Chain A
Amino acid sequence: MSAHTSTPQTQSLSNQAAAALPPGAGGAGGHDPNGEAAKAARRGAARRRKGLKALGFHAVMLAATVVVLYPGVWMLTSSFKPTNEIIGNISLWSDNMSVDNFATALSGIGGVGFWTFFTNSMILAIASVVGVTLSASVSAYAFARINFPGRGVFFAIMIGTLLLPFHVVIIPQYVMFNQFGMVNTFIPLLAPKFLAAEAFFVFLMVQFMRNLPRELDEAARIDGCGHTRIFASIMLPLMRPAIITSSIFAFIWSWNDFLGPLLYLKKPDLYSLPIALRLYVDQTSVSDYGAQMAMAVLALVPVMIFFILFQRYIVDGVATQGLKG
């Protein structure tokens, strides 16, 4: 089988090379007209076979793409449809397309504008990225490179927090922040990010850093660098893929977070987008699916932009972070 498939490929390659040559350059072929004709016939068949295979491949891939993209496209076109044509309707087109839904979504809720929700989400997401990258990279450096007493125990505890379901801590955490008078501020949502309480990111960076050659920091140490300098000048630049991966996750998680803002932000002008998004579909009263779709589309735009800009690095980061299994 492999011989069969490789032959036409090489042949078609040489075929292409021959075609690229100017006419007359392949003068040697003229001496053997029979062999040349047979070869040409073989080439034609091979080309057809290859064409068919490519066609089949592309057809399957296109079909898969349609299936995968359909819900997204449906959401996009539904945002232009009137509300009563959205639920229970899988068609992408409607005769009553309009931008009314976007007007409703942009007009805000209860006197609070869409852009307020958007700005709040943006502040939370960007501050989370800053917090996570700062705190997780520093903590990771300590775990990976500094031999302090109890390092193993602390590392195990940190990993242990990964196993703790969020729901277990949510009420004590709420009571605590409530006592501090920090409800209705962004602090409860951002403080954990700046204090490296997100063990996932610390772990990710530790694993990455362990793969970096120790010789680099040893060389720096010989040159007289302290931990600060080694971290800032040697480690940080090398950790770019891990930092970018963490930033992307931190951004998207914060952008999509619903429960945290729900519990800690009780003033409509502090609400983030996911909370506003849910308001359009209240099961006890009239639901406006059109406006919800429109707001969902608007809410997706920043994540899409963020993803497209950093797409290359996501693969880089995940491929090199050394997280296996």
Chain B
Amino acid sequence: MRITRKAAGAVAASATIVLALTACGQGGGTTAEPGSGEELSTDEDITISLAWWGEPDRASMYEEAVDLFESEHPNITVQTQFQDWDAYWTARATEAAGGSLPDVIQMDLSYLRQYGATGQLLDLEGQVGVNLDVEGVDDALLESGAIDGAQYGVPTSTNTLATFYNADLLTKVGVEPLAEGYTWEDYGAWIQEVSKAGADMDPQLYGGADFTGTFWFFLEWLIQQGVEPFAEDGTLNFDEAQLTEWLSMGQELRDSGAIYPIKQTKQLDPLGGFHVNESASEVTWDNFLAGYVAESGEDIQMLPIPSGENGPQQFWKPSMLLSASASTSQPAASAALIDFLINEPEVGKIFGTSKGVPAVQAQRDAMDVEPGSVDEQVVQYEEDVADVVTEAAPVPVEGFGEIEAEFKRLGEELQYGNVTVEEMASQWFTFANDTVVTE
């Protein structure tokens, strides 16, 4: 298993190099004229392929949605395929190198630039208004699927960060949950308080994990300070001093042992202390709620994330996008499938909030949200925080996946005490400067 994973990583890495090389030859994607696409034919037999990552439940949901699509377009057959997250990107990287990506692919924001800028994805702008209707998608959200004016992906759904806390555990140790409007410093102090109160419990209860080790939280913090993390030209827009300041915020927590120990996190991987009710809070994406509730089985509540200097600014992240392959021979049918998946109310009903809250109102309305269910909690949360979600999601730079992984790795080293805050900041910047591809 270990070897396989390593092997898969190596393939993904080498395929990335090939992608980068092909990019040099093509000089980026070509931009399509708005609405220049051809009408979808209704008599010709068409087969298109669709790929996504996810677990078996998602597979059943997609199959159901695809069946609906096929009954609405009897001349189109959709060939589906699915893998788990790691395998998915290994397979896509190899296909991209071979110029044979599936016609429609589920896309993640962190990979959008890598595939878009290397000319692997179709500019859907040409299909807008012909086979693809994006009227219902919020402009700022739609913008997050575009690079240099080319619409490489259409967001299907949104998510945003939230602080989860375990209300049952807090009652047990007698600590009040945080009040809205708290800052990152408040959050740190609160973690200390919970860990102190839970020190005698068996198993020992911690207040939370080391939040400074997650790249997205750092980005969020930058945005709250009025810093746009990535510049227009695809470079980093922050410096070592800012990173050091962010990481230092967690130093006291690490020193005093108030955060969930990294050793235990590693043992539980891919779960965390919060899943097994040994940690009272966690900052994460709101659509992960279902997974947390299923694992922990306790009363889990959500709060907006801590606020920074300029207040509680947050961003919507497209939790998932749909893209079409640049090499597709059926752009019209591909666009029609994307259109169906983002707009059709029935599809919204099938998926619920499992991919995040649907981007289009019609799908949100169509969901059967049971009172008191996880779905309701997530939808409610997104409605509640809508006021503080003022920022557009930063479009990740090329190489984002790698610098994010390096951030995580160094963050763990920091928790083990193998590097200092300053060392981590400088090592990460060295890595990022070598990795981030600039045009």
List the interface of chain A (C-beta within 8 A of B): 83-84, 87-88, 109-111, 165-167, 170-171, 174-175, 178, 183, 258-259, 262-263, 266-268, 275, 278-288, 291
Query: With A110-B56, A110-B63, A183-B100 as given contacts, are A263 and B82 in contact (CB-CB < 8 Å)?
Result: no
| Closest chain B residue, CB of each to CB of A268 | B81
State in angstroms the CA–CA spacing of A279 and B80 once bound together: 15
Nearest CB of B to A220, in Å: 43
Chain B minimum-CB-distance residue to A167: B10
B330: interface (CB < 8 Å) = no
B294, A84: Cβ atoms under 8 Å?
yes
Smallest beta-carbon distance B26→chain A, Å: 17
The 24 sampled A-B contact pairs (Cβ below 8 Å) are: A83-B295, A84-B295, A87-B275, A87-B276, A88-B267, A109-B60, A171-B18, A171-B97, A178-B100, A267-B81, A275-B87, A278-B83, A279-B55, A279-B82, A279-B84, A282-B54, A283-B84, A283-B270, A285-B54, A286-B290, A286-B291, A286-B294, A287-B55, A287-B270
Alpha-carbon distance between A110 and B66 when the two chains are bound, in angstroms: 11
Q: How far is the CA of A42 from the CA of B268 in the complex (A)?
A: 57
Tell me the bound Cα distance from A89 to B80 in angstroms. 36
**Binary flags per residue of B10-33, CB closer than 8 Å to A gives 1, else 0:** 110011001000000000000000
Q: Which residues of B contact A275 (CB under 8 A)?
A: 83, 87
Q: Of B49, B55, B100, B295, which one neighbours A285 at CB under 8 angstroms?
A: B55
Contact of A167 among B7, B49, B87 (CB under 8 A): B7
Whole-angstrom CA separation of A101 from B426 in the bound complex: 47
- Is the CB–CB distance between A109 and B59 below 8 Å? yes
Q: Which residues in A have their C-beta under 8 angstroms from that of B56?
A: 109-110, 279-280, 288, 291
- How many Cβ-Cβ contacts under 8 Å join chain A to chain B? 132
Bound: A175/B98 CA distance, A = 5
Whether A278 pairs with B276 at a CB distance below 8 angstroms is: no
The distance from the CB of A264 to the nearest CB of chain B, in whole angstroms, is: 10
Contact of A280 among B55, B83, B87 (CB under 8 A): B55
Q: Are B59 and A278 in contact (CB under 8 A)?
A: no
Cβ–Cβ < 8 Å partners of A258 in chain B:
4, 8, 87
A175 CB contacts on chain B under 8 angstroms? 97-99
Residue of B nearest to A112 (CB): B59
In angstroms, Cα B5 to Cα A135, docked, is 30
Contact across chains for B60 and A259 when beta carbons are under 8 A apart: no
B55 and chain A: residue at smallest CB distance: A282
Q: Provided the pairs A166-B7, A288-B55 are in contact, do residues A263 and B94 lie with their beta carbons within 8 angstroms?
A: yes
In the assembled complex, which residues on chain B have CB atoms less than 8 Å from the CB atom of A282?
Answer: 53-55, 58, 84-85
Question: Contacts of A287 on B, CB cut-off 8 Å?
Answer: 55, 270, 291
B32-55 near A? 1/0 per residue, CB < 8 Å: 000000000000000001010111
Residue-wise, chain B 52-94 has the 8 Å CB interface mask toward A (1 for contact) of 0111111110110000000000000001111111110011001
C-alpha gap A287/B53 in the complex (Å)? 13
B269 — nearest CB in chain A belongs to which residue? Answer: A87
Contacting pair B276 A88 (CB below 8 A): yes
| Least Cβ–Cβ distance between A195 and chain B, in angstroms | 21
A262 and B90 form a contact (CB under 8 A): yes
Known: A171-B98, A259-B8, A288-B55. A279 touches B62 (CB 8 A): no
Known: A110-B82, A279-B84. A285 touches B59 (CB 8 A): no
CA distance A109 to B80 in the complex (A): 12
| A278 contacts B87, C-beta separation under 8 Å | yes
Shortest beta-carbon distance from A316 to chain B in Å: 27
Taking the closest CB of chain A, its distance from the CB of B317, in whole angstroms, is: 13
Q: Judge whether B297 is part of the interface by a CB distance below 8 angstroms.
A: yes
- A88 and B267 alpha carbons, distance in the complex (Å): 7
Which of A88, A258, A283, A284 has the largest count of B CB atoms less than 10 A from its CB? Answer: A284
- A contact residues around B7 at 8 Å (CB): 166-167, 259
Q: Is B178 an interface residue (CB 8 A)?
A: no
A284-B401 Cα distance, complex, nearest whole Å:
14
B343-363 interface with A by 8 A CB criterion: 354
Given the contacts A167-B11, A183-B100, A87 and B268 also touching, CB distance less than 8 Å: yes
Q: Which partner residue on chain A sits nearest B296 by CB separation?
A: A84
Once the chains bind, are A167 and B55 in contact (CB under 8 Å)?
no
Beyond the given A109-B60, A286-B55, could you list 19 further A-B residue pairs with CB under 8 A, ordered by the A residue number?
A: A83-B294, A83-B295, A88-B276, A109-B82, A110-B63, A167-B14, A171-B11, A178-B98, A178-B99, A263-B94, A266-B79, A280-B56, A281-B270, A284-B54, A285-B58, A285-B291, A286-B290, A287-B55, A287-B291
- A278–B4 Cα distance when bound, in Å, is 12
